[in-house]
Structure 1
Amino acid sequence: MKIHEYQAREILQDFDVPIPAGKVAETPSQAREVAEQLGGTVWAVKAQVHAGGRGKGGVKLARNLEQVEELAKTMIGMRLVAKQTGSDGALVSKVLIQQGVNIVSEYYVGFLIDRANQSPVLLASSEGGMEIEKVAADFPEKIVKEYIDSSVGLTKEQAKDVVVKLNMDEKVREKAEKVLLGLWKAFKEKDCSLLEINPLIVTKEGEVFPLDAKMTFDDNALYRHPELEVLIDPSQEDETELKAHEAGLPYIQLDGNIACLVNGAGLAMATMDTIKLFGGEPANFLDIGGGASVEKVTAAFEIMLSKPEVKVILVNIFGGIMKCDTIAEGIVEACKVVSLTVPLVVRMKGTHEDLGKQILKESGLPIITAETLGEAALKAVSLAKEQ
């Protein structure tokens, strides 16, 4: 789950991380009012979208109130195209007005999960403002990596070591250490998958601020954070993925034309790989889970068929906790509700397999069955090519 920069700022303040003065605005006139309230002679007008790389068009400096209003007018309602948005861009419905600061130096700081080492890691670099991928490619020697023991957390000694390696001015090192410790606390307590500060700045006055903040959260931990659910911005989400989220279905939209309904993430990945092996393209990742109801299966079918590019649906079920007859009943009911208009290939194995197959056979629906995953994928790919 992603949130906007202005929302990330509010969360960081709860963890005593200092933030430059700023406030979000939804209209050009409101943007001007915010700038007037903040005071000063320079303001940053920042488009709020769920993407990084906004520098080219999404972040502008204004040197008077008229410019603040004009820039906000240009940004609000536009679709900002950045490296992380794709060619369609992302809708800008709000802008963050941030008071100008006197920047002396910029740094990159990021907390994320290193899956290879199975631990959180703090990445830092003196090349603030640049994308970390470019820093890694051009200046690998300027990246500091500090692995964190989850049971202990980021220690004061580690924070101090990172600040020293970044060659920060001795006068601000203590403040920088406190910022790093506050960022780590936010990362851990909010179950973040990523907390990126780019840049972390040192000002002429000797303050240390995150000038930009990007936070994403582990979806699997959201049940622990009902306060985060209200931060979802539907305008920034894929409509299909949002519907799946509301239905409690792990779903990721892909670019293919063979929709997949599978129980279990590993089996879902294997199913998509097999489709690719036979020359097809999966349209989605969808894990129906181990306790799906008829209602959930129906919701899954509605979601898959809402995409006009879908030419075939492939259902691949291994009946363990999830019984094959339950899935079969869900499939039959879903087909009646959604008026199935594309070929449906079903492969099921496991608990109550025979009963499930009998339900499908007696349904009178034109369901194509398969005994193995390979056979099912081959049939789905062939049918997709015929459409």
Structure 2
Amino acid sequence: MDLYEYQARDLFEQYGVPVLPGIIADTPEEVRAAAEKLGGVVVVKAQVKVGGRGKAGGVKVAKTPDDAEAAGRAILGLDIKGHTVNRVMVAGGARIAQEFYFSVLLDRTNRSYLSLASYEGGVEIEILAVEKPEALAYTAIDPIAGIDLDTARQIAVAAKFPADLVDKVAPVFVQLYNVFTGEDATLVEVNPLVLTEEGDVIALDGKVTIDENAGFRHPKHALLEDAAAADPLEAKAKANDLNYVKLDGEVGIIGNGAGLVMSTLDVVAYAGENHGGVKPANFLDIGGGASAEVMAAGLDVILGDPQVKAVFVNVFGGITACDAVARGIVGALAELGSAANKPLVVRLDGNNVEEGRRILAEANHPLVTLAATMDEGAAKAAELAHAAK
């Protein structure tokens, strides 16, 4: 479960991580009251579970309560990558001298933990990793030993922190690691971690993902979930018994079976590297029953995401044969009508595949392109999504 920034901030505070004061607000009037209470310069920040808030106008600096109220009025109700802003956090301002990056995450490949740190923060970490990989220090963390002060200092040195800052940031690294382990998180990220002009190290922004499977150890986590409105697309999928997770990309994915869908995500992400960096927009497993109704529900969810520019349907026919899947797709497009307005790339394989392909070919729907292989389908979907951006 991803947390909102204000929830991450509250967790940080509980573990002793230095943070700025923050007050949540749901109306412009509450934003004004929060600004008056905090005094001085404040920052009004949209509370949504996606990145890119600043570029979308979801973060504004306000010097006066009047400015803060106006900022709240502009941000509340804003759509950011398909997420409507219903709440903001009004945070105290800081005079920033330097921005850093730090995170701890679950390294599933090595069945361990991994810390990432950089003396150069405040930018998207994916961009930094590509354009300046030498600025990012990767440190494998032994889950038994964890991060103590000595390890934290080693991380800071590896990340090229100057000697006079190593002892300043090391305790904060330890505290953030304590959040990670204490809350059964799979990710704790601070970008940026800042040094103020007064010489303080502060977590200015925070992202935390907690493992819902560990909820039995953390009864209070249920309160965090209740405090957050469900993503509308995920809520719609849940209402239709679809296994859906929204991601931050442009290629919608529909498949049958979690393993196939996860493989499809990887192949689309790889293909996207040759087509403007487009990425998968979601995980959607329609299961074994690819009827017209199920397919229509899946397409309705995906096409409701404004970030989606093309859809890749990747199905392996088993108990539900490919001809039934093909009829489901044709029926779904007919049922959706004008709502089906983005290109679909369809790859079928398995039981009755030739009949399935024949049905789709004879339907000759202008939005549908057939692909013989998963690689071909992923490349075509990425190409179409990039062209539509």
Alignment TM-score > 0.5, same fold: yes
Q: How many residues in Structure 1 have an aligned counterpart in Structure 2?
A: 328
Conserved? CA contact 1:265–1:287, under 8 Å: no
1:147 to 127, 140, 143: 140
Q: Which amino acid aligns with 1:372?
A: N
Partners of 1:267 and 1:38 lie apart in 2 by 51
Conserved? CA contact 2:188–2:207, under 8 Å: yes
Confirm or deny that 1:183 pairs with 2:176: yes
Partners of 2:20 and 2:315 lie apart in 1 by 51
Conserved? CA contact 1:146–1:158, under 8 Å: no
Conserved? CA contact 1:259–1:282, under 8 Å: no
TM-score normalised per structure 2: 0.67
Q: Which amino acid aligns with 1:45?
A: V
Which residues in structure 2 correspond to 1:29-68 (within 5 Å)? 29-39=29-39, 41-56=40-55, 57-68=57-68
Partners of 2:260 and 2:214 lie apart in 1 by 22
Partners of 2:62 and 2:157 lie apart in 1 by 35
Conserved? CA contact 2:101–2:119, under 8 Å: yes
In structure 2, the CA distance between the partners of 1:386 and 1:44, relative to structure 1 (3 Å rule), is closer
How far off is 1:181 after superposition?
Answer: 1.3
Conserved? CA contact 2:237–2:298, under 8 Å: no
How far off is 1:17 after superposition?
Answer: 1.4
In structure 2, the CA distance between the partners of 1:316 and 1:67, relative to structure 1 (3 Å rule), is same
RMSD: 4.5
In structure 2, the CA distance between the partners of 1:124 and 1:110, relative to structure 1 (3 Å rule), is same
Match of 2:75 in 1: 75
How far off is 1:249 after superposition?
Answer: 5.3
Unmatched segments (≥5 aa) in structure 2: 268-279, 305-310, 325-329, 334-348, 367-389
Q: Give the SS at the match of 1:154.
A: coil
In structure 2, the CA distance between the partners of 1:246 and 1:149, relative to structure 1 (3 Å rule), is farther
Conserved? CA contact 2:254–2:261, under 8 Å: no
Higher Rg: 1
Conserved? CA contact 1:6–1:96, under 8 Å: yes
How far off is 1:5 after superposition?
Answer: 0.7
Match of 1:10 in 2: 10
Which residues in structure 2 correspond to 1:204-215 (within 5 Å)? 204-215=197-208
What is the CA deviation profile of residues 277-304 of structure 1, one whole-angstrom value per residue up to 9, with x for unaligned ones? xxxx999631649xxxx9xx99967843
Conserved? CA contact 1:15–1:186, under 8 Å: yes
Unmatched segments (≥5 aa) in structure 1: 275-280, 319-323, 332-339, 344-369
In structure 2, the CA distance between the partners of 1:373 and 1:78, relative to structure 1 (3 Å rule), is same
Match of 1:237 in 2: 231
1:97 to 90, 94, 103: 90
Deviates more, 1:304-313 or 1:71-80: 304-313
How far off is 1:159 after superposition?
Answer: 0.5
Deviates more, 1:25-34 or 1:215-224: 215-224
Partners of 1:190 and 1:283 lie apart in 2 by 26
Partners of 2:174 and 2:25 lie apart in 1 by 30
In structure 2, the CA distance between the partners of 1:272 and 1:204, relative to structure 1 (3 Å rule), is closer
Partners of 1:193 and 1:172 lie apart in 2 by 27
How high is the sequence identity, in percent, across the aligned residues? 34
Conserved? CA contact 1:314–1:376, under 8 Å: no
Match of 1:137 in 2: 130
